[in-house]
Amino acid sequence: MTRCAVIAVAVALAAGCGGTGPRSAASLRDCVHDRLPKGAVDRITSSTVEGVTTITYVHRGSETTVSVFASQDDAKQAELAEARLGDAHDRRVGNVLYSGGGAAEAAIAACLR
């Protein structure tokens, strides 16, 4: 293999590795903002407690909630805890749990793909 080919393969592999880490709340919030149609939400709130950032999108009284955990394992443990309480309606992608519906949920799901 030529040196250029080796460098090209290394760059391609490095680029592919970036998507496997935990998603940050800020990057998810920015992505969702870019995908939300105008008027799709009336209010957005955000808070961080014990390292978990929760963002709530409110539209006409309905809420879509997304919680961003520090790690995939933390999110999985929270998902299991909800299941034990009989409240297992959230979907999990990596370190993120979300539920609610509407345009906000569609934007969240698109950002997590």
Separation CA 66–CA 30 (nearest Å): 13
Q: Are 72 and 94 in contact (CB under 8 A)?
A: yes
The pTM is what?
A: 0.79
- Which pLDDT value is given to residue 11? 34
In the chain, where the domains are located: 22-112
Q: Are 85 and 73 in contact (CB under 8 A)?
A: no
Amino acid at 82: E
54-59 contacts at long range (C-beta below 8 A, 24 or more positions apart):
55/25, 55/28, 55/29, 57/32, 57/100, 57/104, 59/102, 59/103, 59/104
**For all residues of the chain together, what is the average pLDDT?**
84
- Which pLDDT value is given to residue 20? 59
